[in-house]
Amino acid sequence: PRSIIIDTDPGQDDAVAILLALASSELKVEAITTVAGNVPVAQTTKNACALLELAGRADIPVFPGAARPLHRPPVSAEHVHGQSGMEGANLPAPKLRAQAMDAATHLVDVLRARAAGDITLVCLGPLTNIATALTHAPDIAPRIRHIVAMGGAQREGGNITPTAEFNFYVDPHAAQIVMEAGVPLTLLPLDVTHRAIATPSRLAGLRDLKTPVSEMVLRMIGAEDRFEKLKYGWEGGALHDPLTVGWLLWPELFHGVACNVEIEVDAPLCMGQSVVDLWKVTDRTPNALWINDVEPDVFYSLLTERLARLA
Ligand code: BDR
Ligand code: CA
């Protein structure tokens, strides 16, 4: 199996991404590192521990990460994910405790200890931990096999400002450090995640499962009062983060373009915007695979089949 470390701010959709990875024998989840994002880091850490316990995987270590972005004040998303960060999950308080070592230190240690090209980073929140590790230890960059990150938006516009997607907006400086790191990089922006919203028909298979995991996922992403349904009038909620894991498992379902992506860190109106050179109008070197389409129905049926394994 492919070794991954999941860097995350659970987060309702983060939770589903983590469960999808745990359910997939092609992937070995070596660790979870947490970050402040949807809710403060103490809570995202607790949520990661609770999810591992639910999945019977308390053997996977959790390393608590950055409490705030590199240079900007924290921004959170309780308006989407609730005070707990996993509204609707209603998981019991975990017994599992996070490690004493912090996320960035662990990332540096593990990337130096393991063979070069062993570890893939799956990034589901603001990129503060990854940027911190890369800044303190630039020697780890060539040792990372791949970074797969949910973040950015071009065609769709932003979901936290008119121009910026949440993860890149919260820590634009960190995102730019990752863009520049020279690590093979795949981005799953809103341009693709908004094509895979959780409509009732896509959730029908999950509704039939009736397992503790499926019921929990449905309480989070299938809820009647889901943010995107109320605010945008969509047929279902968004399910961003699981597409990162989906791309690792089933890349043939996705379409993307290799191009240059840079993150705006200065202009107030465009803070955190992903500037995507889709049409190669600059001579900047392509640094990312910018995913902009997916076969959503196939994705949901494969996701359902995987979550059924966590019965
Ligand atoms: C991203 O922001 C968070 O709220 C979600 O978990 C996802 O990672 C979408 O913009
Ligand atoms: Ca997230």
CB 184 within 8 A of CB 286: no
Taking only the tens place, the pLDDT of each residue in 244-271 is 999 999 999 999 999 999 999 999 999 9
How far is the C-alpha of 170 from the C-alpha of 155, rounded, in Å? 20
Handedness of CA 151, 74, 225, 22 (dihedral sign): positive
Ligand approaching nearest to the C-alpha of 164: 1
How far is the C-alpha of 119 from the C-alpha of 121, rounded, in Å? 7
Task: Count each helix (H run) and each strand (E run) in the chain, helices first.
Answer: 13, 9
84 lines ligand 1 (CB under 6 A): no
103 lines ligand 1 (CB under 6 A): no
pLDDT the model gives residue 76: 95
Confidence band of 155 (pLDDT split at 50, 70, 90): very high
| Probe target for ligand 1 pocket from 122, 150, 194, 228, with the most ligand atoms within 8 Å of CB | 150
Containing 305, the helix (H) or strand (E) segment is: helix 296-308
Instruction: Check residues 227 and 9 and name the one with the higher pLDDT.
Output: 9
- What does the block give as tokens for 252? 């043939």
Query: Is the pLDDT score of 225 beyond 90?
Result: no
Residues 6+ apart with CB under 8 A from 154: 189, 191, 274, 276, 278, 290, 292
pLDDT the model gives residue 223: 84
Ion ligand 2: residue ranges with CB closer than 5 A = 9, 11, 14, 124-125, 241
Distance, C-alpha 122 to centroid of its chain: 7
pLDDT the model gives residue 92: 94
191 lines ligand 1 (CB under 6 A): no
Ligand approaching nearest to the C-alpha of 151: 1
Tell me the three state secondary structure of residue 260: strand
pLDDT the model gives residue 224: 84
ipTM comes to 0.99
Ligand approaching nearest to the C-alpha of 237: 1
240 is catalytic: yes
Query: 59 C-alpha vs ligand 2 centroid, how far in Å?
Result: 23
How far is the C-alpha of 272 from the C-alpha of 58, rounded, in Å? 35
Main-chain dihedrals φ then ψ at residue 133, nearest 5 degrees? -65, -45
Tell me the three state secondary structure of residue 127: coil
150 lines ligand 1 (CB under 6 A): yes
Query: Is the pLDDT score of 186 beyond 90?
Result: yes
77 lines ligand 1 (CB under 6 A): yes
How large is the C-alpha radius of gyration of the chain?
Answer: 18
How far is the C-alpha of 13 from the C-alpha of 23, rounded, in Å? 15
Cα 239 to Cα 5, 189, 212, 267, distances in angstroms: 20, 12, 19, 29
Taking only the tens place, the pLDDT of each residue in 87-105 is 999 999 999 999 999 999 9
Query: Is the pLDDT score of 10 beyond 90?
Result: yes
Kindly give the number of the ligand 1 atom that is closest to the alpha carbon of 160: 10
pTM score, two decimals? 0.98
| Probe target for ligand 1 pocket from 13, 192, 220, with the most ligand atoms within 8 Å of CB | 13
159 lines ligand 1 (CB under 6 A): yes
Question: How many residues belong to the chain?
Answer: 311
Tell me the three state secondary structure of residue 303: helix
Tell me the three state secondary structure of residue 300: helix
Kindly give the number of the ligand 1 atom that is closest to the alpha carbon of 238: 9
Q: Please name the residue that has the structure tokens 């990332």.
A: 107
